[in-house]
Structure 1
Amino acid sequence: MTAEAPTAPVLSYGRLVPVTVHFDDLDALGLLHNARYPLMVERAWSELWQEHGIRFDGDWEAAGDACNAVRELRISYDVPVTRTGTYAVHLWLERLGNTGLTYGFRFCSADGAVTYAQGTRVLVRLDAATLRPAPWSERFRAAGRELLRPAD
């Protein structure tokens, strides 16, 4: 008996970022290791934000909006990934607050039609000197607004 992966509607919000599953991403059973999903989501977000000029280059003071920390991560694994190759991460923002945000993600087939895992992650923007919450810049907020999921 094989499990059927849930299908997703045509992508109408967010961004689909290609990712590659390599042989060494698989566990002893030949499945994508559970710890690799969040790593690939993180890499996809990093790529997306770099397109907007937001990146961390080793200097927390200069990092601006890239100076942030994860407050919460939730992920559910729907159907195992059983082979290497090209997949995608569908990314969007659920909420964009003054100092925090919640983003949603799906680890999916390259075309976005099949969902293998999905979840949310809460980030808090930090002041580099105090490590206390700090407001997102207007540039970041403008880019973030483009990624907001429409209300259902």
Structure 2
Amino acid sequence: MTAEAPSAPVLSPGRLVPVTVHFDDLDALGLLHNARYPVLVERAWGELWEAYGHRYTGDWAAAGDACNAVKELRISYEAPVTRPGGYAVHLWLERLGRTGLTYGFRFCSADGATTYARGSRVLVRLDPATMRPAPWSEEFRTVGRGLLRSAQ
């Protein structure tokens, strides 16, 4: 695993990950459906961590740091997305704890200039045998520190 994700442009803080809004992501009014934002953010988060070598392939015991669960999700919608096409998700870490983390995100234009939605999500690392909180690996923490909004 490297400290730089090769496919995601560096922003301060975090990374900008490209995503695509498809026609069928829009609701009857022609707006990106509110439930699609978290899905697109999840895909961007997965792509970012996959670039660092962390992925879930269906085996909790082998998943390592990818064995985690969402504890909380907050999102606010700031401007409507009214057409399909290329956009981006700006991701960064707000907090990196021993067994949990909070990441921030912005759903934005492909260049990151326009924000359509913003939010945060809390994840908890799980032990695959007990499904109880477990510490992040030092390798994961090293990469995570590079995504932090500010030094802890």
The aligned counterpart of 1:134 is: 134
Letter in 2 for 1:20: T
Residue by residue over 1:22-52, the C-alpha shift from the partner in whole angstroms, topping out at 9 and shown as x without a partner, is 0000000000000000000000000000011
**1-structure distance, mates of 2:119, 2:26:** 20
1:70-109 alignment, distance < 5 Å = 70-109=70-109
Letter in 2 for 1:111: D
1:27-38 alignment, distance < 5 Å = 27-38=27-38
SS across alignment from 1:150: coil
**1-structure distance, mates of 2:107, 2:12:** 16
C-alpha deviation, 1:13, in angstroms: 1.2
Letter in 1 for 2:41: V
**1-structure distance, mates of 2:55, 2:12:** 26
SS across alignment from 2:46: helix
Unpaired runs of 5+ residues, structure 2, are: 1-10
Letter in 1 for 2:132: R
C-alpha deviation, 1:108, in angstroms: 0.2
Q: Does 2:64 align with 1:64?
A: yes
Letter in 1 for 2:52: H
The aligned counterpart of 2:4 is: none
C-alpha deviation, 1:150, in angstroms: 2.2
SS across alignment from 2:62: helix
TM-score (norm 2): 0.91
CA RMSD, Structure 1 to Structure 2 (Å): 0.7
The aligned counterpart of 2:110 is: 110
SS across alignment from 1:46: helix
Size of the aligned set, in residue pairs, is: 141
Unpaired runs of 5+ residues, structure 1, are: 1-10
Q: Where has structure 1 moved over 2 Å in runs of 4 or more?
A: none
Identity %: 81
C-alpha deviation, 1:12, in angstroms: 1.9
SS across alignment from 1:73: strand
Letter in 2 for 1:103: Y
